[in-house]
Structure 1
Amino acid sequence: MKLPPGPKIPFWLLSLQFETNPFSYLDAISQRYGDIVTIMSGSTPIVYISNPSGIKEIFTNNKEILARGELNQDFALITGNQGVLQLDGLIHKNRRKLLMQAFHGARMQACGRGICELTEKIMNKQVIGKPFVAYSVIEDITFQVGIERVIGLQEGERYDKIKYLFASLLKLDRQSLIVKIFNKVFGEKDLGRWSPQGYLLHLRRELFQLLSTEVEERRQQLDFSRTDILGDLIFACDETGEKLSNEEVRDLLLSPIFAAVDASGTAISWSLYWIHRLRDVREKLLKELDSLGENPDPISIVTLPYLSAVCNEVLRIYPTQLFTFPRLVESTIEIMGYELHPGTIVLGNIYATHQREYLYPNPKEFQPERFLEKQFSPYEFLPFGGGSRMCIGANFALFEMKLILATILSRYQLELVNRRPERSKFTGLICSPASGVKMVMRNHRQDQEESQSLVSGLV
């Protein structure tokens, strides 16, 4: 039985076409070849599936299809060899459970007020009438939230250094594919800090050393009152009942911070773009937010139906990852009428699933109402992936996204600098706004409302 159809163009050329215009490329591939497509990487078939029933099978079949950590080894350079992405089986299950403690329940809710206050503090630094890049401002917020939630640091020299190193590594990861290919061909060797690979390794060593020092000092303090992820991991036991090593703890800290900053920052930036591009959406959101009164409880904010629908619609069009993490076919299996043999790699095509016309009529249009009218299955709407490799911080990402957006919209009157449609730029796993979303603050909403009330009183 043949593999699913797919283009015969060399993999490197397909990669360049994809990076040039990722959404147009994926639309064209789906239109031509359907909802299951094969792309050859050398002699290895990579099968992309956008059919919900096919995605359900790769998420739930743990016998013939395995989500092996070795398939994510490319990320190990910046997430460590013992990060959650690189682990398998019982070890992976144990570490996911440990990490997810900080992203659920009362502990997550307890930091809600702090997220709102931090957002207001950073937004107040913006000068009225002076343009700013939304992504850069949001990144400042998500960095502080992420580092505090994961490591427990809020300020100081070590916090500043860790933030700088994370930001520098993210910047390198966002380089274009052409630059990455050039670096791989001409700069693969470590020739010191002035070579691309040498600079990357230098940043990595600096970051890993700082995190190792923080882990060692925290282990010596034995402070049981801390509620960050580092505190959980220091006192945690592995699947055999043994304490985790300092190196294991260090590596487990990396992925949650990268995800908290990059995925959340990108999603919030796209949200600001759509909300301020579509006047009706903004007005509906403001009406819903204003109904809560002054200084609403964070839990009241995150349960708002229209705000939730807007966030979901952003994540439908721009999922936090375009594809699920790869799975490996271990024994011959039939999916959607095709026989896949051992060695085949399968991925869910999240973007194409979210563009299916029968699920999402007029999929290119921003329509939050679709999430008020219908509840989608986890195989139809999967912005954070799914199965055993679903993003551990998915719930917290939505929680943070809603609170930051609610604070900005409630407190500030912003406008887009450009009315032209925002282009997307592929950066690793995510498609971010190419310009970062350029905005300008026109006023503080409270000041504007007070001014209007005063004028009304004088009439």
Structure 2
Amino acid sequence: MNTNELINGKIGKTLYSGSLSILISMHLPQEIPIPPVIQTLQLITNPTRFLDRCASMAGDIFTTRVMGWNSPPIVFLSSPDAIAQVFAIPAGKLDFQTPTYVFRPLFGDNSLVLQPTYEHSRQRNLLLPSFHGEKIRAYGEIICQITQEAISTWPLGREVKMQSMMPDITLQIILQVVFGISPGENYQKLRRLLTSLLHDITTPWYSSLFFFPSLQKDWGKFSPWGNYLYRKKQIDDLIYQEIRQRRQQLNSTANFQRKSEKQDILSLLLSARDSAGKSLNNTELKDQLISLLLLGYETTSGVLCWLFHLVHSHPQVKTKLLQELNSLNPIPTPEEITQLPYLDVVCKETMRLHPIALICTPRIVKEPVQIDKYQFSPSTVLIPCIYLAHRRSHAYNSPTKYIPERFLERKFSSFEYLPFGGGYRGCIGSAFSMYELKLIFATIMLNYQLELLHRKTVYPQRRGITIVPSGGVPMRIKSKSSSVSVSTISQKV
């Protein structure tokens, strides 16, 4: 390892303590024999192809230099044993903040994603109850209603692209379920601003601003970065306004009944207290809401696009799924839908083949750690790779094929199947995401008969922080479905 490269690099500068004693000798896993700059470009432009290529050359664990010429060793791991060992490393021996610098301008300094050990645990404990158990089930009705309203105007016989239709549904769900904002003037203004900004940050040029700090120069609102900051401030101001209004409502005696009835996540977070009785302040709340928005908007819509593509390109899967949906009561509840076993494995297999995120949170070694036969010294970046873990032939028979039944035949460990990451940095919204995914997909399948168009080769394509199917998944809306309908679901819930 070149000491000058380490010290001069971005991460090296952050970790360098002034003493070379931390740079103990180590034997790294096989290094990928591609120039560092080329590795960086390949990872940014076509990450799945790059990871597949690395795994074919080096197997389950390999070393890359994907941060350019000054890159420290960045180790990708995909075997269950190695992933389990990484998750078991005490948090105090790892730095989670430095590798996630790319998210700071998006999420804000107080985001859960960016917090060190103690503050991360505190915030996680405050946020977690809002995404589990009875709390999730309270969101089911509104998820179905939003989806039903969004698709009610779809033109019969016309072509639509799922990649264009799904983000609006997931955004509306976040605004109403997470933010708790009812349709109205502020709702429409925030929806318009968010739609525009979220669309732009998923484009290659705009998203590159976050990967390269040297491009982050504020030369006024007509410069690229200045324009982002201007738009982001408009959104932040609207969210702060909503937080202040909600605090006044919740603290008012006259609104006591309303306080007890509000079930959106913002209301729950306003009432949450840590072990010391401390709540989240307005800035912390704003950053958490923005993080939940960005992590739940494009990711869920991306998985939905893969769902529609895969189900409709595998007739036997589609037939079996429709038979299950048709077995429901005439007016099914959200719980009846989300407990369907074949729908469950169809969603799981989709996220195995095309996971929401390709990797778990990167972590930098601060103290020497042992993984398998390797000893890693400070500065090494460890990355459990979800994408490669899900494609290991040791765990999955015919891993590149779409076979939902594999999840009916056996149970996979949390180190073999981990679409939401794992350990103490796993996604807090995993249960909510699965619940939302099933309800949106089932609601559309129960209401329309769809036909997949242009059956040419579809490949994974980067869109912002997610991987989506190329071509946008064009479909024709053939007719209203003859299946049961969830349009009157609220009458039963």
- Alpha-carbon spacing, 1:170–1:118, altered in 2? closer, same or farther (3 Å): same
- Alpha-carbon spacing, 1:239–1:170, altered in 2? closer, same or farther (3 Å): farther
- Alpha-carbon spacing, 1:328–1:20, altered in 2? closer, same or farther (3 Å): closer
Letter in 1 for 2:297: V
In structure 2, C-alpha distance between the alignment counterparts of 1:177 and 1:361, rounded to whole Å: 38
Q: Does 1:247 align with 2:283?
A: yes
Q: Does 1:39 align with 2:75?
A: no
- Please tell me whether the aligned partners of residues 370 and 376 of structure 2 are also in contact (alpha carbons under 8 angstroms): yes
- The correspondence of residues 59-98 of structure 1 with structure 2, limited to 5 A, is 59-62=87-90, 65-66=93-94, 68-98=96-126
For residue 435 of structure 2, the aligned residue among 393, 399, 414 is: 399
In structure 1, C-alpha distance between the alignment counterparts of 2:229 and 2:351, rounded to whole Å: 33
What secondary structure is seen at the aligned counterpart in 2 of 1:441? strand
Matched with 2:386 is 350
What secondary structure is seen at the aligned counterpart in 2 of 1:446? coil
Write out per-residue CA displacement over residues 23-81 of structure 1, whole angstroms, 9 at most, x where no aligned residue. Answer: 22211110101111111232411111011111011112215742523432321111111
In structure 2, C-alpha distance between the alignment counterparts of 1:43 and 1:71, rounded to whole Å: 12
In structure 1, C-alpha distance between the alignment counterparts of 2:182 and 2:206, rounded to whole Å: 37
The Cα shift of 1:21 comes to 3.2
Matched with 1:196 is 224
In structure 1, C-alpha distance between the alignment counterparts of 2:124 and 2:91, rounded to whole Å: 20
In structure 1, C-alpha distance between the alignment counterparts of 2:425 and 2:483, rounded to whole Å: 46
Larger deviation: 163-172 or 343-352?
163-172
Q: CA-atom RMSD, angstroms? A: 2.2
Matched with 1:161 is 189
For residue 373 of structure 2, the aligned residue among 337, 347, 350 is: 337
What secondary structure is seen at the aligned counterpart in 1 of 2:364? strand
In structure 2, the gaps of 5 or more residues are 1-25, 486-493
For residue 381 of structure 1, the aligned residue among 417, 421, 424 is: 417
In structure 2, C-alpha distance between the alignment counterparts of 1:197 and 1:137, rounded to whole Å: 28
Matched with 2:76 is 48
In structure 2, C-alpha distance between the alignment counterparts of 1:179 and 1:63, rounded to whole Å: 30
- Alpha-carbon spacing, 1:76–1:434, altered in 2? closer, same or farther (3 Å): same
The Cα shift of 1:185 comes to 8.6
Matched with 1:430 is 466
Matched with 1:151 is 179
The Cα shift of 1:383 comes to 0.5
Letter in 2 for 1:127: P
- Please tell me whether the aligned partners of residues 187 and 195 of structure 1 are also in contact (alpha carbons under 8 angstroms): no
Letter in 2 for 1:106: E
Write out per-residue CA displacement over residues 151-170 of structure 1, whole angstroms, 9 at most, x where no aligned residue. Answer: 10131121122223333332
In structure 2, C-alpha distance between the alignment counterparts of 1:207 and 1:178, rounded to whole Å: 18
In structure 1, the gaps of 5 or more residues are 450-459
In structure 2, C-alpha distance between the alignment counterparts of 1:383 and 1:106, rounded to whole Å: 23
Matched with 2:198 is 170
Matched with 1:453 is none
What secondary structure is seen at the aligned counterpart in 2 of 1:435? helix
**Alignment: residue pair count:** 449
The Cα shift of 1:144 comes to 1.1
Letter in 2 for 1:72: T
Matched with 2:86 is 58
TM-score for the superposition, normalised by structure 1: 0.92
Matched with 1:4 is 29
Matched with 2:12 is none
- Please tell me whether the aligned partners of residues 112 and 124 of structure 2 are also in contact (alpha carbons under 8 angstroms): yes
TM-score for the superposition, normalised by structure 2: 0.86
Write out per-residue CA displacement over residues 369-389 of structure 1, whole angstroms, 9 at most, x where no aligned residue. Answer: 111101011100001111111
- Alpha-carbon spacing, 1:207–1:60, altered in 2? closer, same or farther (3 Å): same
- Alpha-carbon spacing, 1:119–1:13, altered in 2? closer, same or farther (3 Å): same
Matched with 1:207 is 235
- Please tell me whether the aligned partners of residues 5 and 38 of structure 1 are also in contact (alpha carbons under 8 angstroms): yes
- Alpha-carbon spacing, 1:181–1:12, altered in 2? closer, same or farther (3 Å): farther
Matched with 1:456 is none
Q: Does 1:412 align with 2:440?
A: no
What secondary structure is seen at the aligned counterpart in 1 of 2:27? coil
Letter in 1 for 2:192: Y
In structure 2, C-alpha distance between the alignment counterparts of 1:259 and 1:435, rounded to whole Å: 23
Letter in 2 for 1:33: A
Identity between Structure 1 and Structure 2 (%): 35
- Alpha-carbon spacing, 1:249–1:50, altered in 2? closer, same or farther (3 Å): same
- Alpha-carbon spacing, 1:186–1:55, altered in 2? closer, same or farther (3 Å): closer
Letter in 1 for 2:239: L
- Please tell me whether the aligned partners of residues 191 and 197 of structure 1 are also in contact (alpha carbons under 8 angstroms): yes
